[in-house]
Amino acid sequence: MVQEQAAAAGGDAAAPRKDAEQQQSKPFKEGMQGIITLLEKSVKTKETRLLMGRLMRQTAMDADVAPMEDDATKAGDAADGADAGSAPAPSQLPEVELYMYLLVLVYLLDSKQFAQAREVADTAVGLLQQHNRRTLDAIGARIYFYYSWAYECTGALADVRSTLMAAHCTAGLRHDAVGQETLLNLLLRNYLAYNLYDQAEKFRSKAQKADTWRVPGQYCRYLYYLGTIRAIQLEYTEAKEVLQQASRKAPTCAHGFRVACNKWLILVRLLLGEVPERLTCAVRSGDLAQFRAVSEKFAAAFRADRTTNLITRLQYNVIRTGLRRINLAYSRISLKDVAEKLALPSAVDAEYICAKAIRDGGIDAVLDHAGGFLATRELTDLYSTNEPQAAFHERIAFCLNLHNEAVKAMRFEPDAHKRALAAANGGKEQMSVEEIARAIEEEDDEDM
């Protein structure tokens, strides 16, 4: 009797549990059916904006991808007890199949199953290369992105370089703008991961690029990669401009991207002689010993960020800042004292460094080799130089570039110019009729 009551209680408890599982699997099934409907609608109407907008945003949502395994299991359990006639008919569209590959690939990467993600990515890319459909451009670009990421996580990023290069050429021949932008950034990342900055610059300069980018996020990535290349090539002014653009154009939710941009931007500003407040005490004070201690302490972090080369170059800026402070404090100082204050090995090294700083315009002083001292010249008025003009020109150029980019980003309806032209022509015809009526009235007055 007790066993029967327990069994009855277990059955009563199992029924609500089954209903709860069906309710939890229902959002997953409805979401997938909605996505398939959206894909079929996009293919039928040949409207790629739906794929680039709504569909990709739904794919990026963690709530739709992270619990996919549990929801799929619950959906399978619920489907066993459901009627067979309620299941939707399978779609034969390659867009639907490749989108499912994309979901599985994202899930495997999020769950750190990189080996399986690599196999799925190879299969998806092989299937993608068999089709030439414009409705696959957005999905294909996203698949190539995760394809490269899967190989990067397994330490074999160089193995996909030839595949990405062939896909980039194919995208150019097919006028696939989204694929071109994505693959261009993937190839730049591939080159920079192995410190191949010269090859990256050659490829970037010769690659086909449109005047306006279809995907703003890809344009931000391109500016970031361009800024890193320019920084390594000692073109700090251009590197600062493009890195600032990348940081401003990046979405507010892209915290990691903004942090990476700001790291490079701060180093570039330091190399240009600009010292950000509260961030670089050693550079601002010109203390070479403190700078070396900080560099050695955080050497691992600098290697991880691939900024060791810039940190090494920054040492001369620290010395130049210290020289500038000494130049302002002393009208005349011996080279031996300069070497002691800057923690340099000898007075000979201090003489060479002072000569280079004078030649570069870092300090306004005279070096006396025979007497072994550094003499400061009289200070001149800043407003008698070209520095205010250069600063004013930089601000004007920034405002003009901002205006030009805003104009390029504006979107108009396809037939807007035709309606405006028709309205203008109608106004001209109306004016001509009025002029004819006025002329007739004048002729009648003359006859009278």
Encode pLDDT of 351-387 as tens digits: 777 887 777 777 777 877 777 777 777 666 667 777 7
Taking 50 as the threshold, does the pLDDT of residue 65 lie above it?
A: no
| Residue 46 banded pLDDT, cuts 50, 70, 90 | low
* Nearest residue to 240 (alpha-carbon basis) of 262, 260, 257: 262
Strand partners, 376: 365
248/220 Cα distance (integer angstroms): 9
116/122 Cα distance (integer angstroms): 10
Orientation angle between helical segments 137-153 and 114-128, nearest 10 degrees: 150
Encode pLDDT of 12-40 as tens digits: 444 444 444 444 445 656 666 666 666 66
The percentage of the chain sitting over the pLDDT mark of 70, rounded to a whole number, equals 67
Tokens of 290: 């403190």
User: How many H-runs (helices) and E-runs (strands) does the chain carry?
Assistant: 22, 3
Range from 128-137, 273-282, 317-326, 397-406 carrying the lowest mean pLDDT: 273-282
Tokens of 30: 């409805």
Taking 70 as the threshold, does the pLDDT of residue 414 lie above it?
A: no
Average pLDDT, the chain: 74
DSSP run (H or E) holding 375: strand 373-376
Strand partners, 374: 333, 367
* Residue 284 contacts residue 269 (beta carbons within 8 Å): no
121/101 Cα distance (integer angstroms): 8
Q: Residue 17 has what pLDDT?
A: 42
Domain coordinates of the chain in residue numbers? Answer: 25-71+94-205
